[in-house]
Structure 1
Amino acid sequence: MELRHLRYFQVLAQTLNFTRAAERLHIAQPPLSRQIQQLEDELGVMLLERGRPLKLTDAGRFFHEHSTALLEQLNKVCDNTRRIGLGEKTWLGIGFAPSTLYGVLPELIRRLRSGEPLELELGLSEMTTLQQVQALKAGRIDIGFGRIRIDDPAIVQTVLTEDRLVAALPAGHPLLAGPISLRELAREPFVLYPGNPRPSYADHVIALFESYGVSIHVAQWTNELQTAIGLVGAGIGVTLVPASVQLLHRDDIGFTPLLEDNATSPIILSRRVGDVSPGLNHCLRMIDELLPPAS
């Protein structure tokens, strides 16, 4: 399938007339008919009811809607590519762990999208810290926000802040009565995330308990924070989450603080060594305004 097939079909679906479509496309009618027939042959379905008047089939209406959206996205990509190539716009790829969205990251994204003083095209990708490091080295993103420290000579990591951890428990759980210790919490079945890839935030949680000489029983592994919270609400177990997650209001769960002062999780900024690109430098200045690096 070629792009011209999509473009020809889009115009034909708009006009529902081969003659008018051919005129708009500046081609003769027979080549247009052949191109549409080739498209139908490749898809293996009829897109048009060739009567009077010409009509789209159900498959044709579906294909028109989704191919139109695809072409609009392609046109946007091509336009932004030209603008970036001409220096009119700067592309910045951002990777983020889901839990970082409950902190300062949404405000950072809003400011970056404002276009002042530098117009940016943002590429946002949800990924773990390990995936961020791989994406940074491959050039797919320019900056990452995660939760774990990774030793890699090609990557610079900076701790932006330390989030206090809190226990998330099912609504009505007795431990919601007040601050609890990790030893108390370790007696409960755990919902732990993410299960893959490793190392991850899950390893940070396990190591935190082990530093107090206790281990946890993992009743359920999951890969997503939201899924873990949902399973806690269902009574499968408890979990540890950054305190900023308390902004997520649910009736079926509650949060309680921990007694241990070192029960924290860092928000870690990752970037390539030696990267001095304008987009990244602009982003780093914004971060300094919003959240000075932790001492």
Structure 2
Amino acid sequence: MELRHLRYFRVVAEELNLTRAARRLHMAQPPLTRQINNLEEELGVRLFVRSPRGLAFTPAGQFFHEHTLQILDKLEATVAATRRLARSKRQLFGVGFVPSVFYGQLPRLVRELRQKDDVELTLAELTTVQQIQALKAGRIDMGFGRLRIDDEEVEQEVLFEEPMMVALPAGHPLDGKTPSLSELAEFPLIIYPAKPRPSLADMMLGLFRRRGLKVRVSQEANELQTALGLVVSGLGITLVPEQVSQLTRRGIVYSYLADTNITCPILCSRRKGEAPTEVMLAANAILDILVENRRSGRYP
């Protein structure tokens, strides 16, 4: 399947008439008909129902139309952004992050980099595993995650260890207490993200397993916000890094754990062995200040 097939399909889908679509595409109708037939053969489904009055979508055709529109819109936006970047001579710098690090220092790093006239900053919400893959593929230049991953092409720097807290529904029996893990193990646990694994979910389960504690997982969520919503709904409790507690939400309370040694790292991942660009040097300098602020307790 080629890109032109999707573009032909989009025009035909908009017109629902092969003659008008061919006119818009500045081509004869028979070649356009062959292209649509070839697309249907490759997919193995009928996209249109033909009649003397024109075309109508099949259910598969409607589904394909909705999703190819997203692909083509994204492609056109990417092409336009690429041309703008080339004209502006700005340096592209990609940052990947897990959601739980965005309640602390990362927004300030983003703000300061965006203020630089020679930087075009892109952000991508990715798990730590996905960040490693994106770094190796060159899609991002720096990643912020929680999981230690051994990869010969990527280096990981521990910025600091962050205390873990438990998120509870308001009025929970442990509300207002400083519970131990054995006390938490008595209640259903919500873990996140469910996939891809390994992830913070495995780190969470490992905390209990290493202490010989069995937990009942009541629900797996793909997003942090979803997990917190499930806590509010009373489906269970979950563990979160300290900075997530900056997120105030009705019906949820956060408590520190009795064991203050239970922490979760914030890791900065970069490609190994590369000479740092000017943008990377600037990002590292900003990061050094933010980490020192965090360690000295000047803000969460």
Q: Which TM-score applies when normalising by structure 1?
A: 0.73
Contact 2:175–2:253 (Cα < 8 Å) also in 1: yes
Q: Name the counterpart of 1:35.
A: 35
Q: Which residue number in structure 2 is paired with residue 216 of structure 1?
A: 213
Structure 1 residue 117: Cα displacement:
1.8
**Structure 1 residues not aligned, in runs of 5+:** none
SS at match of 1:10: helix
2:174 equivalent in structure 1 = 175
Q: C-alpha distance in 2, partners of 1:174/1:165?
A: 19
Aligned runs of 1:23-172 on 2, under 5 Å? 23-43=23-43, 44-47=45-48, 49-52=50-53, 54-57=54-57, 59=59, 60=61, 62-81=63-82, 88-109=89-110, 112=113, 114=114, 116-120=116-120, 122=122, 124-128=124-128, 130-150=129-149, 154-172=153-171
The reply to whether residue 257 of structure 1 matches residue 238 of structure 2 is: no
Distance apart, 1:115 and its partner CA: 6.6
1: distance between equivalents of 2:64 and 2:180?
A: 55
1:126-145 CA-partner distances (Å, limit 9, x unpaired): 213x5534543454432211
Contact 1:167 1:255 in 2 (8 A): yes
Counterpart contact for 1:160–1:293, Cα < 8 Å: no
Structure-2 separation of matches of 1:120 and 1:84: 7
In structure 1, the partner of 2:287 is: 287
> In the comparison of the two structures, how many residue pairs are matched?
288
Q: Are residues 149 and 25 of structure 1, via their aligned partners in 2, closer, same or farther at CA, if it must alter by over 3 Å?
A: closer
Rounded to whole Å, the distance in 1 between the matches of 2:68 and 2:198 is 38
Percent of aligned pairs with the same amino acid: 41
Does the CA contact (< 8 Å) of 1:192 and 1:222 recur in 2?
A: yes
TM-score, structure 2 length as denominator? 0.72
Kept after mapping to 2: 8 A contact 1:149/1:157: yes
The whole-number CA distance in structure 1 between the counterparts of 2:123 and 2:6 is 26
Q: 1:287 to 1:56 in 2, by over 3 A?
A: farther
Cα drift, residue 205 of structure 1: 7.5
> Partner of 1:175: helix, strand, or coil?
coil
Q: Give 3-state SS (helix, strand or coil) of 1:102's partner.
A: coil
Q: What secondary structure is seen at the aligned counterpart in 2 of 1:163? A: strand
CA RMSD of aligned residues (A): 4.0
- Does the Cα contact within 8 Å between 1:170 and 1:254 map onto a contact in 2? yes
Q: What CA distance in whole angstroms lies between the structure 1 residues aligned with 2:27 and 2:97?
A: 47
